[in-house]
């Protein structure tokens, strides 16, 4: 039975990843300091081969016994979080990645890094291929997240080249699904919570900036395929179907049956104008592409959010 360590296991994606690994017959050790994670996300895993350790991965990580893979998902990941927590965001990208790589090296385990489309910044190439180096403002408000992930990629690659560690890097594009926080600042949860509460739905900018939304089960499938592959270079995992922020907002308002009005606010500094993955590498090397249609994914997500808003 493979034994896998997942940092950030109580977070949105980390909890889905842990659950799917258990479903596939793995033993999972979750690590989370609960800064942005929530034990409620993994409470249903309590009677399975899952253990959650409360620990800050910027400190030395000790896991007794064998480990086959380390999946490093610990990090604030929404704009609200990393703007409020700039230094913890930088520390988990740098020190946390170093400690997680150290654990993988000590155990002879493979290592998977959760990177992000944010490494491309406000891109001048569209759609974004993995060969694109990005357009990032290192001292802008988003730089703490963008550069933490870029540094994490550099360190992961250095461990692969210098120590021969079996490493993988997944660049995650906008993902949505159950267990996102109501007020985490990302488009889908923000629009859903506002619409369900009958509040104005807030769009930043003119709403014509684009995003590509991938349902969480598709993302997790791509991550596991990458983990089990022989691929070492970064791989984009996301849905190449591009749509405007205004389109997704109007779709969500319609699906909720809400009377919410759409209002427009100034665009935050360095907010990307376009975001669309080129997934040729994932298709070619992993045989992966997203399967869940937007309406199906939004319906499942909305069902989850209704329970949270009523609660």
Catalytic residues: 145
Q: Are 19 and 86 in contact (CB under 8 A)?
A: no
CA-nearest of 206, 176, 212, 116 to 304 is 176
Neighbours of 39 (CB within 10 A): 15
The structure tokens listed for 191 are 């629009």
Question: How far apart are the C-alpha atoms of 202 and 19, rounded to whole Å?
Answer: 33
Q: Strand, helix or coil at 207?
A: coil
φ, ψ (nearest 5 deg) of residue 240? -75, -5
Question: How far apart are the C-alpha atoms of 138 and 142, rounded to whole Å?
Answer: 8
Q: Strand, helix or coil at 58?
A: coil
CA-nearest of 140, 123, 289 to 219 is 289
Question: How far apart are the C-alpha atoms of 232 and 244, rounded to whole Å?
Answer: 32
């Amino acid at each position: 039975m493979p034994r896998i360590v997942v940092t950030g296991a109580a977070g949105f994606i980390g909890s889905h990843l842990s659950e799917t690994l258990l479903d596939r017959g793995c033993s999972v050790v979750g690590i989370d300091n609960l800064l942005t994670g929530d034990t409620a996300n993994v409470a249903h895993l309590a009677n399975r081969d899952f253990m959650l350790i409360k620990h800050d991965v910027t400190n030395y990580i000790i896991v007794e016994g064998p480990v086959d893979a380390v999946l490093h998902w610990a990090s604030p990941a929404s704009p609200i979080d990393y703007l409020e927590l700039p230094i913890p965001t930088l520390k988990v990208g740098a020190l946390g990645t170093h400690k997680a790589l150290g654990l993988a090296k000590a155990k002879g385990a493979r290592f998977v890094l959760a990177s992000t489309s944010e490494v491309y910044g406000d891109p001048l190439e569209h759609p974004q291929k993995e060969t694109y180096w990005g357009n990032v403002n290192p001292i802008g408000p988003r730089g703490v997240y963008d550069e933490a992930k870029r540094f994490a990629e550099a360190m992961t690659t250095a461990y692969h080249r210098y120590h021969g560690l079996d490493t993988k890097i997944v660049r995650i594009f906008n993902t949505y699904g159950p267990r996102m926080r109501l007020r985490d600042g990302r488009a889908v949860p923000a629009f859903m919570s506002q619409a369900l509460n009958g509040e104005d739905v807030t769009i930043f900018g003119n709403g014509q900036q684009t995003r590509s939304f991938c349902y969480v089960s598709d993302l997790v499938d791509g991550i596991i395929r990458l983990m089990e592959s022989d691929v070492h270079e970064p791989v984009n995992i996301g849905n190449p179907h591009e749509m405007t922020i205004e389109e997704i907002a109007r779709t969500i308002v319609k699906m909720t049956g809400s009377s919410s009005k759409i209002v427009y606010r100034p665009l935050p500094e360095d907010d990307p104008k376009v975001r669309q993955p080129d997934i040729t590498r994932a298709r070619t090397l992993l045989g992966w592409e997203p399967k869940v249609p937007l309406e199906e994914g939004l319906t499942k997500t909305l069902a989850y959010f209704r329970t949270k808003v009523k609660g």
